Amino acid sequence: MAKRSTKSPFHKKLVNAIQNQVRVVREINTKYAAPRIKMTKWVSIALLGIRIYLIVLVIILVYKFITLVI
Amino acid sequence: MKEGIGLRARFFYRYRRFIKTLKIYLMIAGPGIIVMVADNDAGGITTYTVTGSKFGYDLIWFLILLGPIAYIVQEMTVRLGAVTKRGHAEAIFDAFGTFWGWFSLGDLLLVNWLTLITEFIGMTAALSIFGIQPFITVIIVLVLLIVMILQGRYWTWEKIVLLFCVLNLIYIPAAFLVNPSWSSVLGNGLIPHLPGGAFRGELFFFLMANIGTTIAPWMVFFQQSSVVDKGMKEKDIPWGKFDTMVGAAFTVIVAIFCIVVTGTVLYGTNIESAAQAARSLIPINQYAGVFLAIGLFDAGLLGAVCISLVSSWAFGEVWGWAHSLNNRIREAPWFYFLYIIILVSAGIVVLIPGAPLVLITLFVQVIAVTLLPAALVFLILLLNNEEIMGKYKNTKLQNILSTIIVVFIVTLSTFYCLSVIFPQYFT
């Protein structure tokens, strides 16, 4: 005897919507996987600079958060 | 006799040419003026009013310098949008890959949402001066902003927003109402100098705050998406630049007159917000105080109009949804859904009793600084790519100027962010 599904139509729709969005994110990741810009010396230096800047900023924010909590 | 006819003909020809040029400009005008005037949002107006009350007219020269800075940055977005026909979010994904793309998109959504909350704070504070309850203000604003975009035409939306931009000029009559000494305004305001003759911690804080209001990450994303949505082409770039120049002049004028109002009447008083300035001004000069409150509401509204749209445009570009104001709801449901969700959720936060609004206002400045350097550096890198920009890429002079400006803005914004996190080291 076939089992009757306990999932409501809303639940199914929600799961479908989430699955669709996951699929779209994967498509975006595939579409933009290779950066179009040529990685010259200056581009690499600029991107490295932003990475370092962001890492330092995050460290400062985490430090502030910890000192605030403690 | 013949000479008279010739003169009249020449005058008539010039007049016709002027009218034709004006018509072309009015068709192209919009993104530059809107982004620059919306730059004077609720946070911006607060910064100017507090600056005026602390330093009088002494920092007007500094605001004049910020006009060209804003123009040089925003002009690049006009070229990038007109040439690539892509918004900034999509351009970052395409050029720098998914890591920087997701980072920019996520950060943009967060910082825009938080900024939107500060716009609602400004608007509710402004209308509370007239005895209007915050929840009524939020409902009025939500209805107005939703109706504005649901009419289904970019052109109509843009012209309505331009009307709100004109209302931003209310600070000019307000300044005349308080009878400032114009010789002092010109004498103290236009000659570059440091108030008090020395560089102090408080002065540094206000210089940083004024720069922080000049270029915000959402402005880069907004103008580029707006140029694309309007359908501007390469041939429209000179008009787009002129539009941005007019907008930059507009924003500096509004900032100056705002400072003149508080610098004249409230100089030396302890003012912490634009709403407080308006309340303090009403007993002294009722009309000027009311104009200040109306200006604050309008500034918040303009900020909310632009910022809520930026996130929807950015997501639409990357997700591949239809994302134009020319689309009907049926054609672009996700674009409008996101716009409404962002707007409504930010409005609700302001109405939550005990919501940490002061913390949010401070947090905005910190989060904005995480996105600003990346957005500006990406802009310069994109504008230097010949494959993307062709003959519209940056010239050597543009590169020198934009690099100096970006380093200047990023450095001072970072210090401003640090002064918010560690105020004890900046007093």
Are B98 and A57 inside 8 Å of each other by CB? no
Residue A30 lies in a domain: yes
- Does the CB of B400 have a partner CB in chain A at under 8 Å? no
What the block records as the tokens of B187 is 């004498």
3-state helix, strand, coil in chain B (%, to 5): 85, 0, 15
Chains A and B form CB pairs within 8 A to the count of 54
**So what's the pLDDT on residue B425?**
75
**Eight-class DSSP state of A39:** -
Q: State how far the Cα of B262 lies from the Cα of B288, in Å rounded to an integer.
A: 10
Place of tokens 């949804």: B321
User: What average pLDDT does the segment B311-325 reach?
Assistant: 87
> Tokens 């810009």 belong to which residue?
A37
- Contact partners, residue B156, CB within 8 Å, separation at least 6: none
Cα B12 to Cα A12, B7, B18, B19, B26: the distances in Å are 71, 9, 10, 11, 21
**Could you say which of A35, A38, A50 has the minimum Cβ distance to residue B373?**
A50
For residue B405 the two structure tokens come to 């400006």
- What domains are there in chain B, each with its CATH number? 34-426 (1.20.1740.10)
Comparing A47-56, B187-196, B347-356, which segment has the lowest mean pLDDT?
B187-196
> Could you say which DSSP state residue B10 is in?
H
Rounded to whole angstroms, the Cα distance separating B369 from B383 reads 22
Indicate whether A3 belongs to any domain: no
Chain B CB contacts of A50 under 8 Å are: 373-374, 377
**pLDDT band at residue B344 using 50, 70 and 90 as cut-offs:** very high
Q: Do A53 and B373 touch (CB under 8 A)?
A: yes
Inform me whether the pLDDT recorded for B377 exceeds 80.
yes
Q: Does B206 touch chain A (CB under 8 A)?
A: no
Residue B169 near chain A (CB below 8 Å):
no
Categorize the per-residue pLDDT at B127 as very low, low, confident or very high, splitting at 50, 70 and 90: very high
Q: Is the distance from CB of B267 to CB of B53 less than 8 angstroms?
A: yes
pLDDT at B231 over 80: yes
Question: What is d(CA B260, CA B145) in angstroms, rounded to the nearest whole number?
Answer: 31
B68 touching A (Cβ < 8 Å): no
**Long-range contact set of residues B18-23: C-beta below 8 Å, sequence gap at least 24:** none
Put simply, the chain B residues between 8 and 47 with a CB less than 8 A from any chain A CB are none
What percent helix, strand, coil does chain A show, rounded to 5?
75, 0, 25
Q: Residue B196: which region, alpha, beta or left (left: phi > 0; alpha: psi -120 to 50)?
A: left
For chain A, the first-to-last Cα distance in angstroms comes to: 60
Ramachandran area for residue B270 (φ above 0: left; ψ -120 to 50: alpha; else beta): beta
pLDDT at residue number B5 = 73
pLDDT exceeds 90 at position A65: no
Residues from chain A that touch B415, judged by Cβ atoms under 8 A, are: none
Q: Encode pLDDT of B144-182 as tens digits.
A: 999 988 876 888 888 888 899 899 899 999 999 998 888
Q: Is there a contact between B387 and B84 (Cβ–Cβ < 8 Å)?
A: no
A2 found inside a domain:
no
Quote the pLDDT of residue B21.
Answer: 75
Measured between CA atoms, the residue of chain A closest to residue B91 is A36
Q: Which of A29, A35, A54 sits opposite B95 (nearest CB)?
A: A35
Residue A18 lies in a domain: yes
Q: Is B226 helix (H, G, I), strand (E, B) or coil?
A: helix
Three-state DSSP class for residue B361: helix
- Determine contact: A33 vs chain B, CB below 8 A: yes
Classify residue A1: in a domain, yes or no. Answer: no
d(CA B348, CA B159): 28
Q: Choose the weakest-confidence range: B94-98, B192-196, B378-382.
A: B192-196
According to the model, what pLDDT value does residue B24 have? 72
Q: Which of A47, A55, A59, A65 to mutate to test the interface with B (most CBs of B within 10 A)?
A: A47
The CA distance from B46 to B53, in Å, is: 11
Mean per-residue pLDDT over chain B, rounded = 87
Q: Is A4's pLDDT higher than 70?
A: no
Whole-model pTM: value is 0.86
Report whether pLDDT(B90) > 80. yes
Residue whose entry in the numeric block shows the structure tokens 């980072």 = B103
Cα nearest neighbour of A64 on chain B: B421
Is A64 a member of any domain? yes
Residue of B279, B260, B228 lying closest to B55 (CA atoms): B260
Which stretch of DSSP H or E encloses residue B317?
A: helix B286-319
Give the pLDDT band of residue B116 (cuts 50, 70, 90). very high
- B364 shares contact with chain A (CB less than 8 Å): no
ipTM over 0.90: no
Q: Could you please report the per-residue DSSP string of B252-279?
A: HHHHHHHHHHHHHHSTTS---SHHHHHH
List CB contacts (< 8 A) between B418 and chain A.
60
Residue B112 predicted with pLDDT over 80: yes
Q: Which domain holds residue A41?
A: 9-69
CA distance B414 to B164: 32
pLDDT, position B17: 81
Least confident stretch, A4-18, B42-56, B102-116? A4-18
- What average pLDDT does range B359-376 have in this prediction? 78
SS3 state of residue B186: helix
Percent of chain B with pLDDT over 70: 96
Counting DSSP H helices and E strands in chain A, the numbers are 2, 0
d(Cα B181, Cα B230) in Å, to the nearest integer? Answer: 43
To which residue do tokens 């880069």 refer? B220
Select the residue from B90, B93, B393, B402 to test the A interface by mutation, using most A Cβ atoms within 10 A: B93
Does the pLDDT at position B365 exceed 80? no
For residue B152, give the 3-state DSSP assignment: coil
Q: Which of A37, A54, A57 sits opposite B381 (nearest CB)?
A: A37
B334 touching A, CB under 8 A?
no
Q: Which residue has the higher pLDDT, B189 or A8?
A: B189
Name the domain count of chain A: 1
Work out the minimum CA distance from A42 to partner chain B, whole angstroms: 9
Within a domain: A24: yes
Spatial separation of the C-alpha atoms in residues B34 and B306, rounded to whole Å: 8
Residue to mutate among A24, A36, A45, with most B CBs inside 10 A, is A36
Q: What is the pLDDT of residues B241-271, one digit of tens each?
A: 999 999 999 999 999 999 999 999 988 888 8
Q: What is the pLDDT of residue B200?
A: 67
Lowest mean pLDDT among A35-44, B340-349, B360-369: B360-369
**Measured CA angle at B83 (ends B81, B88), to 5 deg:** 30
- Concatenating the DSSP letter of every residue in B89-151 gives HHHHHHHH-HHHHHHHHHHHHHHHHHHHHHHHHHHHHHHHTTT--HHHHHHHHHHHHHHHHHT
Q: Are B116 and B346 in contact (CB under 8 A)?
A: yes
User: Strand, coil or helix: what is B253?
Assistant: helix
Inter-chain contact B421–A60, Cβ cutoff 8 Å? yes
Q: Hey, are the CB atoms on B98 and A28 less than 8 Å from each other?
A: yes
The two most distant CA atoms of chain A are separated, in Å, by 68
Q: What is the pLDDT of residues B269-288, one digit of tens each?
A: 888 888 888 999 899 889 99
Q: How many percent of chain B have pLDDT more than 90?
A: 34
Residues B238/B239/B244/B247 CA torsion (nearest 10 deg): 150
**Chain A partners of B373 at a C-beta cutoff of 8 Å?**
50, 53
What is the distance in angstroms between the Cα of A26 and the nearest Cα belonging to chain B?
A: 11
